[in-house]
């Protein structure tokens, strides 16, 4: 794994950690008596969340208010707060700042171990809910992707359900890239996952394009495939000056986040303007209504990604797009220091 880029330190929590943990451990007995299932309904429990004790975790560009629904949980809550900060670091590395000024983050203890599912919301303010196994260990956090995945959802405007492929595809793709850029994963791991899983996003019989085929594979991995193809094409057309990351940063900087509604045409237009290309518009027009099947095996060879057992190795000498592959996962250059 390459050395991690030096970045500005994450701001300290809004209150000393000991005080934050004390606040989380206290609170109205009537609230803490509610069963955890009350917090797992269809929508986010905004009112119940606001009544819980919370700890504020400061990040570059925003604040994450963390609360725990009632229930026992084995790991110290300090470990959960550290995991929140680490996950947010990956998002800040990719987007240049946190995509929303504030977000509610609710952990709901459940049975078993590991992360049991998550969801992001925006209709009454940005919010994330994660169901977490009460017996989760530190290793479960280190290996899990769900919190970064849900945080990526904060960085895209709300759109009609037919465009879920873009929201979920971006979350799959950016979560992977961001964790490599932040130094949390080796690049070989995510390219191995792409080689193994991206074929699940190829169209099957009866497919009617990304906008009209809401299957699991097309939504998650078809959307991720769109992102990869767009990233490669932007870098080729711009001679490596821009990538999909620049388009997504521009959307956030224009105020595009989960708490606002945009048509997909605006999302694409803002992204293309940032790269000086029409890659997103061209690729969307090609894939929206038609079952296009890229030759992924050929694409991996061009990128220099060679499957080898349970992992991959990189061909950096002969692969046409090896430099593009390296650029996709390279940590962005730190911004120049401000004058004065």
How high is the pLDDT of residue 74?
81
**Using 50, 70 and 90 to split pLDDT, how confident is the model at 114?**
low
Contacts 24+ apart (CB under 8 A), 21-30: 21/55, 21/76, 21/77, 21/78, 21/81, 23/53, 23/54, 23/55, 24/53, 24/54, 24/55, 24/66, 24/67, 24/68, 24/77, 25/53, 25/77, 26/53, 27/51, 27/52, 27/53
How high is the pLDDT of residue 22?
42
C-alpha of 246 from chain center: 15
> For the chain, what are the domain ranges?
17-153, 161-329
Distances 62 to 96, 141, 239 between C-alpha atoms, Å:
12, 22, 33
- The answer to whether residues 97 and 160 touch, using CB atoms and an 8 Å cutoff, is no
- The answer to whether residues 173 and 193 touch, using CB atoms and an 8 Å cutoff, is no
Q: What percent of the chain has pLDDT over 70?
A: 87
Higher pLDDT, 55 or 40: 55
**Among 42-46, 146-150, 166-170, 270-274, whose mean pLDDT is lowest?**
42-46
- The answer to whether residues 124 and 44 touch, using CB atoms and an 8 Å cutoff, is yes
pLDDT in tens, 46-104: 999 999 999 989 899 889 999 998 888 888 888 888 989 999 999 999 999 999 999 99
Buried b (16+ CB within 10 A) or exposed e, 278-301: ebbeebbeebbeebbeeebeebbb
How high is the pLDDT of residue 154?
97
pLDDT at 293 over 60: yes
The pTM score is 0.86
């Amino acid at each position: 794994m390459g050395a991690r880029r030096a970045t500005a330190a994450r701001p300290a929590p809004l209150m000393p950690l000991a005080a934050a943990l004390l606040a989380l451990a206290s609170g109205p007995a009537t609230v803490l008596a509610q069963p955890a299932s009350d917090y797992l309904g269809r929508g986010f429990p905004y009112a119940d969340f606001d009544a819980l004790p919370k700890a504020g975790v400061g990040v570059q560009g925003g604040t994450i208010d963390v609360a725990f629904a009632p229930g026992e949980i084995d790991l110290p809550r300090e470990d959960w707060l550290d995991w929140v900060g680490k996950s947010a670091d990956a998002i800040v590395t990719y987007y240049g700042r946190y995509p929303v000024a504030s977000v509610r983050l609710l952990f709901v203890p459940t049975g078993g171990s590991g992360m049991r599912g998550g969801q992001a919301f925006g209709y009454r303010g940005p919010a994330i809910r994660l169901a977490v196994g009460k017996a989760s260990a530190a290793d479960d956090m280190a290996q899990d992707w769900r919190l970064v995945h849900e945080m990526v959802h904060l960085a895209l405007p709300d759109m009609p359900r037919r465009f879920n492929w873009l929201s979920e595809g971006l979350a799959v793709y950016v979560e992977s890239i961001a964790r490599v850029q932040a130094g949390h994963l080796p690049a070989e791991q995510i390219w191995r996952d792409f080689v193994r899983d991206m074929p699940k996003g190829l169209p099957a019989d009866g497919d009617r394009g990304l906008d009209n085929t809401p299957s699991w594979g097309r939504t998650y991995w078809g959307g991720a495939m769109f992102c990869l193809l767009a990233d490669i094409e932007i870098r080729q057309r711009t001679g490596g000056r821009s990538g999909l990351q620049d388009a997504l940063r521009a959307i956030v900087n224009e105020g595009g986040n989960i708490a606002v509604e945009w048509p997909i045409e605006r999302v694409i237009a803002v992204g293309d303007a940032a790269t000086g290309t029409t890659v997103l518009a061209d690729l969307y027009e090609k894939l929206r209504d038609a079952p296009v099947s890229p030759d992924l095996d050929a694409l991996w060879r061009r990128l220099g990604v060679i499957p080898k057992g349970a992992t991959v190795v990189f061909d950096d000498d002969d692969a046409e797009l090896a430099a593009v592959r390296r650029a996709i996962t390279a940590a962005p250059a730190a911004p120049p220091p401000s004058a004065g």
